[in-house]
Structure 1
Amino acid sequence: MLHPAASVIRNVRVSDGSAVDIRIADGVIASVEPATPQAPSADAGDTGLEIDGRGMLALPGLVNAHAHVDKSWWGLPWQSYGGEGGTDGRIRHERARRDELGIPSVATTAHVLEQFVRHGTTSIRTHVDVDLGVAQRGIEAVREAVAAYDGALQVQIVAFPQDGVLRRPGVIDLLDEAAAAGADFIGGLDPATIDRDPVGQLDALFRVAADRGVGIDLHLHDPAELGAFQIELIIDRTERFGLAGRVNLAHGFALAQVGASHRRDLLQAMAALDITMTTVAPLRLPQLPLHELDAAGVRFGFGTDGIRDLWSPYGTGDLLGIAWQYARSSSLVRDDDLRRVVDIATGGSAPFAGLPVGRIEAGSRADIILVDAENPMDALVRTPERELVVGNGRVLFQR
């Protein structure tokens, strides 16, 4: 349920430590001014709420750039992990059990969105399964659940072929249908190991994306040289089909596993076409190298992946926790690096949700979270509770 719009958030600190009042109008930050001693009222009538920030740290809303909000069992009774291991084994297990759990549904999607919001996420890019079993039902459920936020939560949809593209005749037609109906992106999955035809899968996806004017956001788990080979194919097709700035590579484990010179060449080619990356910061694998990505100019974002689903019982919906995991696993300890990770988790990743870069400054969309932390570095290493979450100027959560 949405609360009234906020008009002023008083007495908060921004990243440089200064105390400010943040004025909001029509869902946008109207001004950021030095804090005044004026006591806020509980309700400012037609102008909206005035909120006392109590000296807490204000950060831009978190951006979850890789989620699966359609396929969680959170809110249902505990589901024991089962089936076989590996990507294909997990796919089969999910297909065997999702119907009995009512996945996808508006109710379970709404529960996931609620968990994201209470942890400070205000912008999401979510992959939604599109296959021969569910067709477009997942996308319909996600759209209905998102509509309850009335624009306060920004969501991009990726029509995602979790069960493969070419190995299931008819899936590419479903992706084309989803793109024609308004999906922002179409997805793909391990062209070599799932479809066993990387050229065929990628050509089919890029044709649909180019014809329909949508982007591509592709899962690539394949390791080392096999994964790097597919990244080269993606680079080639991004240029050939004129999709620069509209292609994202999710996971991309291979980039952290090939040699330094090969990785440099791949990153430079990706940056030239603005091919972006998203990571869920897996614990047991090398992390994408922050400094190399930044040096090459490859934009990237963090995501929670699936949470409490038939693939894994883990996940809380806290994107800041994923940023912590990335920083910790990457052995990042210097203030500049920790600040950079916070920036990626917040406004710096806003373009992954179709938004301009978010900042606590006049003109930015009013996506704001308050935490009891000394500074952004402290917020990252402690991941404190979110005290207030504002999306598009509306209060979405308040402790």
Structure 2
Amino acid sequence: MSTWLRNVRLETGEATREDGSLQTKSELFHIQVAKEGVIQTIIPGSENVSDADAIDMEGKLALPAFKEMHNHLDKTYLSLGWRACRPVKNLSERLAIEAAELEELAETVEQRASAMIELHLNNGVNHIRTHVNIDPFIKLKNLEGVKNALKAYEQYLTYEIVAFPQHGLLAHEEMPNLLRQALESGATILGGLDPAGIDKDIEKSLQVTMDIAKEYGVDVDMHLHDRGQVGFYTMDKWLDMVKEQNYAGNTAFSHAFGLSKLSPHLQKQFAKKLSEHDVEIMSTIPISINHQLIPLNILKTEGVKVALGCDGFYDSWSPNFSGDILEKVHNFCDYTGKSDERSLRQSLSLITQGVTPLNIEGTQEWPKIGEEASFVFVDASCSAEAVARLPKKRLLMHKGKLYKSKH
């Protein structure tokens, strides 16, 4: 049985005001959602819908559902009460603290992951890519808990699970096989972490990663915090391996801090190489490292896919951040000086896998009949206002099913 959504605001185009500034135009529509979860009909709001079970959206703006592309469901302290971070002198100390608490936290991973999932659903997210610690301390315990948590919400979201070697791939001899076990037990993507800074052997770390990825035919998503020349070399070396071993289209670089100190000319050159190999950059914002920007604008201009994620939040690494993926877009616009209607509007693509209601010329492209009926409904006149003003009350529909918060 289909469902009608009445009085849905959709962006339809743009107009130019007398002062030359742009204004996004919108109108009210009724949308019929088929029982299969796809858009069946879109008609003007002036027409009558006689369905007694129709849901009145009361003029709320429909946006494409959000995608959270870099997250750590297993690390959060959510649901455990307040905890600040313990101070450390360096990364090694932070990793040691995390390792020490892994056993304790593993007992509550499903509970904590569920709390984070519900927060994302309330904020309009219907897809989560989560990294999950796979290490010698807890082995696959976190993976099992995260899998159970995600399974409970499958009617409202899709997901990917990255087997993440947080404590190094080479430091512990059992790690390669633990990652293999994770990929055989529900992880869908192979993770990596700083082949230089953590593994201390770029070539060997990358080769072991490539070997496992090809063995299981999975994508690779690497955390790359290493900066300067060593960070750039790591990415460049991996792309050479991708070309040599015919593995294009299977890579994401998370953070990619090694891009920050390149000159704009080299950033543009390397962006073209990233695009040629179909590499996606997963940024967690902020994008400034010692006042050097990760060049997201250049990357997008050169055709590189760029997505955002909230990363881990409220955990042993950071007590900060609200967990709102739309706030990440807002901060990106703030950091990069995007304040006009069009640039605010187009920045929404960073959390929708490229989908925006209007294209860069202001022509309507979404939603269309036959597409998945997944929306975020907000109180805003247009997507530019939503990015700038961060409406708090949001309602998620995933494939025709409205999510109702448990709290």
Aligned residue for 1:348, secondary structure, equals: coil
Query: Counterpart amino acid of 2:391?
Result: P
Structure 1 residue aligned with 2:44: 34
Structure 2 residue aligned with 1:342: 348
Q: State the distance in 2 between where 1:293 and 1:104 align.
A: 39
Whether contact under 8 Å (1:157, 1:183) holds in the other structure is yes
**65-74 vs 281-290, greater mean Cα deviation:** 281-290
Aligned residue for 1:196, secondary structure, equals: coil
Give per-residue Cα distances to partners, 1:158-179, cap 9 Å, x unaligned: 0000011001211111112222
Aligned-pair CA distance for 1:111 = 0.5
Q: State the distance in 1 between where 2:37 and 2:397 align.
A: 10
Query: Given the superposition, is the C-alpha separation of residues 39 and 363 from structure 1 closer, same or farther in structure 2, using an over 3 Å criterion?
Result: closer
Aligned-pair CA distance for 1:284 = 4.8
Query: Counterpart amino acid of 1:9?
Result: L
Query: Counterpart amino acid of 1:10?
Result: R
Aligned residue for 2:121, secondary structure, equals: helix
Q: State the distance in 2 between where 1:366 and 1:87 align.
A: 43
Structure 2 residue aligned with 1:316: 322
Q: State the distance in 2 between where 1:103 and 1:224 align.
A: 39
Aligned-pair CA distance for 1:228 = 0.6
Structure 2 residue aligned with 1:397: 404
* 1:296 equivalent in alignment to 2:306: no
Give per-residue Cα distances to partners, 1:69-121, cap 9 Å, x unaligned: 11111111211211424433221111112333446621111000000100111
Query: Counterpart amino acid of 2:300?
Result: D
**305-314 vs 253-262, greater mean Cα deviation:** 253-262
Matches within 5 A, 1:148-167: 148-167=152-171
Aligned-pair CA distance for 1:360 = 2.3
Query: Given the superposition, is the C-alpha separation of residues 92 and 6 from structure 1 closer, same or farther in structure 2, using an over 3 Å criterion?
Result: farther
Aligned-pair CA distance for 1:291 = 3.2
Give per-residue Cα distances to partners, 1:290-316, cap 9 Å, x unaligned: 431122110010000001111111122
Q: State the distance in 1 between where 2:310 and 2:390 align.
A: 15
Whether contact under 8 Å (1:283, 1:325) holds in the other structure is no
Query: Given the superposition, is the C-alpha separation of residues 261 and 40 from structure 1 closer, same or farther in structure 2, using an over 3 Å criterion?
Result: same
Matches within 5 A, 1:167-186: 167-186=171-190
Query: Given the superposition, is the C-alpha separation of residues 87 and 264 from structure 1 closer, same or farther in structure 2, using an over 3 Å criterion?
Result: same
Match of 1:196 among 195, 200, 204: 200
Structure 1 residue aligned with 2:10: 14
Structure 1 residue aligned with 2:78: 74
Structure 1 residue aligned with 2:17: none
Whether contact under 8 Å (2:169, 2:175) holds in the other structure is yes
Structure 1 residue aligned with 2:386: 379
Q: Using structure 1 for the length normalisation, give the TM-score.
A: 0.90
Structure 2 residue aligned with 1:246: 250
Q: State the distance in 2 between where 1:381 and 1:55 align.
A: 19
Structure 2 residue aligned with 1:126: 130
Structure 1 residue aligned with 2:376: 369
Query: Given the superposition, is the C-alpha separation of residues 209 and 320 from structure 1 closer, same or farther in structure 2, using an over 3 Å criterion?
Result: same
Indicate the structure (1 or 2) with the bigger Cα radius of gyration.
Answer: 2
Whether contact under 8 Å (2:64, 2:355) holds in the other structure is no
Q: State the distance in 2 between where 1:318 and 1:230 align.
A: 31
Query: Given the superposition, is the C-alpha separation of residues 315 and 291 from structure 1 closer, same or farther in structure 2, using an over 3 Å criterion?
Result: closer
Q: Using structure 2 for the length normalisation, give the TM-score.
A: 0.88
CA RMSD of aligned residues (A): 2.2
Structure 1 residue aligned with 2:16: none
Query: Given the superposition, is the C-alpha separation of residues 347 and 52 from structure 1 closer, same or farther in structure 2, using an over 3 Å criterion?
Result: farther
* 1:264 equivalent in alignment to 2:263: no
Match of 1:237 among 237, 241, 257: 241
Q: State the distance in 1 between where 2:400 and 2:311 align.
A: 27
Q: Unpaired segments of 5 or more residues in structure 1?
A: 45-49, 351-357
Q: State the distance in 1 between where 2:135 and 2:372 align.
A: 35
Aligned-pair CA distance for 1:397 = 3.2
Give per-residue Cα distances to partners, 1:308-346, cap 9 Å, x unaligned: 111111122210011111111111123222122112212
Query: Given the superposition, is the C-alpha separation of residues 360 and 86 from structure 1 closer, same or farther in structure 2, using an over 3 Å criterion?
Result: farther
Query: Counterpart amino acid of 2:5?
Result: I
Give per-residue Cα distances to partners, 1:259-297, cap 9 Å, x unaligned: 122212211111001011010112653443343112211
Structure 2 residue aligned with 1:388: 395
Structure 2 residue aligned with 1:306: 312
Give per-residue Cα distances to partners, 1:123-151, cap 9 Å, x unaligned: 11110111111212212111111111234
Give per-residue Cα distances to partners, 1:224-281, cap 9 Å, x unaligned: 2111111111111222232211100000112132112221221111100101101011
Whether contact under 8 Å (2:267, 2:295) holds in the other structure is no
How many matched pairs?
Answer: 382
Between the two proteins, what is the percent identity of the paired residues?
29
Give per-residue Cα distances to partners, 1:31-73, cap 9 Å, x unaligned: 32222454787x73xxxxx321111110011100100011111
Q: State the distance in 1 between where 2:118 and 2:214 align.
A: 34
Aligned-pair CA distance for 1:8 = 2.1
Q: State the distance in 2 between where 1:14 and 1:59 align.
A: 8
Q: Unpaired segments of 5 or more residues in structure 2?
A: 13-25, 357-364
Aligned residue for 1:320, secondary structure, equals: helix
Query: Given the superposition, is the C-alpha separation of residues 359 and 141 from structure 1 closer, same or farther in structure 2, using an over 3 Å criterion?
Result: farther
Whether contact under 8 Å (1:347, 1:359) holds in the other structure is no
Query: Counterpart amino acid of 2:305?
Result: R
Aligned residue for 2:172, secondary structure, equals: coil
